[in-house]
A and B are shown apart, each in its own frame.
Chain A
Amino acid sequence: DAKTTQPPSMDCAEGRAANLPCNHSTISGNEYVYWYRQIHSQGPQYIIHGLKNNETNEMASLIITEDRKSSTLILPHATLRDTAVYYCLGGKLIFGQGTELSVKP
């Protein structure tokens, strides 16, 4: 079973920040949190991962709470091409249903 829970869907206006939450209260202290996204009809794409500290790369930022029970993926300036299903994984290679993000003009 997935160790994470995510809202099934979210909307975001183009150009605004998209903040995608994930709860992972059962992961252990040495298990990473990692994010993927899957654009319709394509293979998933790795986005970012983290353990304790906040992380940033060219695609997104990952904010992990101090107690590591939850995290937020931030797409700072969402575009229409960011419309996809976003998956948060905690420790194991188990994909849940993810969050379907719709970026709208």
Chain B
Amino acid sequence: ETGVTQTPRHLVMGMTNKKSLKCEQHLGHNAMYWYKQSAKKPLELMFVYNFKEQTENNSVPSRFSPECPNSSHLFLHLHTLQPEDSALYLCASSQERRPYEQYFGPGTRLTVT
């Protein structure tokens, strides 16, 4: 595998379910990011991790819980989501010193029913 991979690519979950999104980067980067892209809306930065430490949380509801066990892996744990949380969730990585040069994964298309 090369670049940034995300699994699953598609996910349908009920509002009472618990699920996790996984992101893995094979680029030797040390910063990782979660974004949300809703229909007809711009990308929204959710979380930033540098060297496994969370450095940014853009007022994301607690039903989204990120985890970064090492510099190559990033998870987004989901629980008791709402239908308006349906969106494309994108993971990206970069060198910590070059946050403007990010490499994105293909995204997970999430539908909350």
Contacts and interface: CB of A to CB of B under 8 A. Distances in A.
Interface residues of A, number: 18
Interface string A57-97: 00000000000000000000000000000010100011111
Contacts of A45: 104
Contacts of B106: 42-43
A34 B104 contact: no
A57 B107 CA distance: 26
- Chain A contact residues: helix, strand, loop or mixed: loop
Nearest to B33: A93
Interface string B9-34: 00000000000000000000000010
A46 B3 CA distance: 13
B23 to A, nearest CB: 11
Contacts of B43: 44, 87, 95
Contact of B42 (A32, A34, A46, A97): A97
Given A93-B45, A95-B43, A49 B100 contact: yes
A49 B101 contact: yes
A10 interface: no
Contacts of A46: 100-103
Contacts of B4: 43
B81 interface: no
A30 to B, nearest CB: 12
Interface string A10-54: 000000000000000000000010101000001111100100000
Interface of A: 2, 32, 34, 36, 42-46, 49, 87, 89, 93-98
